[in-house]
Amino acid sequence: MSRIEHIFEASFRDAQDLLSLYVGDAGIQATHVNLAERIAATFQSGGKILIAGNGGSMTDAMHFAEEWTGRFRSDRKPYPAMALADPAHLSCVANDYGFEFGFSRMVDAFARPNDLLILLSTSGNSVNLLRAAEAAKKIGCFVFGFLGRGGGPLLELCDQAIIAPGTTADRIQELHLMSLHILIEATEELLA
């Protein structure tokens, strides 16, 4: 086996092992169900989802939001979900206030009581996500975290969270993205 073949085999096995841990954790599965029910209830009551993350987690946030405002597998009405990912806003706030306020300023602008804030972080240490969670709590939003590596300080600011197993950001993000896709599928069933 070549070195390159070994990389593929080892990485796929690592991902498979982590997925088995994730799926086999009854607490994680129950939390997924609770989140699907909360998303459905948020939409049914006229609320919205705000979602944020940094780097690859930001692209996952954007993807999750567009699946709601566009469509997932079949046609249905759009639902109000927004990724906190406007580059003009983020660079403006970073310049005027500091990078750590980029998400919290958007939460202050757009969040209302009973909205849902979902935060994606492979470490739970990002100051801009910590400030977003604090802002959401003051407004009266439910804060959910998709986290990794023990959850970091962000775990304490979440009303509920799922901590994906794994030690590298890529494996954690892969589990987060899979969860986001399945959440849409499950929530659409609840909303049908």
pLDDT 10s digits, 147-173: 999 999 999 999 999 999 999 999 999
How does pLDDT run across 4-23, given as a tens digit for each residue? 999 999 999 999 999 999 99
The percentage of residues in the chain with a pLDDT greater than 90, rounded to a whole number, is: 99
Local confidence band at 130 (pLDDT 50, 70, 90 cut-offs): very high
What span, in angstroms and rounded, lies between the C-alpha atoms of 132 and 152? 15
CATH code of the domain covering residue 45: 3.40.50.10490
Total tally of structural domains belonging to the chain:
1
Residue range(s) defining the domain that contains residue 131: 3-191
pLDDT at 1 over 90: no
- In 3D, which of 42, 49, 25, 16 has the Cα closest to residue 180? 49
Taking the C-alpha atoms of residue 94 and residue 115, their distance in angstroms, rounded to an integer, is: 25
Q: What integer is the mean pLDDT of 51-58?
A: 98
- Alpha carbon separation from 71 to 63, 64, 89, 178, 185 (Å, rounded): 11, 10, 26, 17, 11
Instruction: Assess contact for 61 and 83: CB atoms under 8 A.
Output: yes
Q: What is the pTM of this model?
A: 0.97
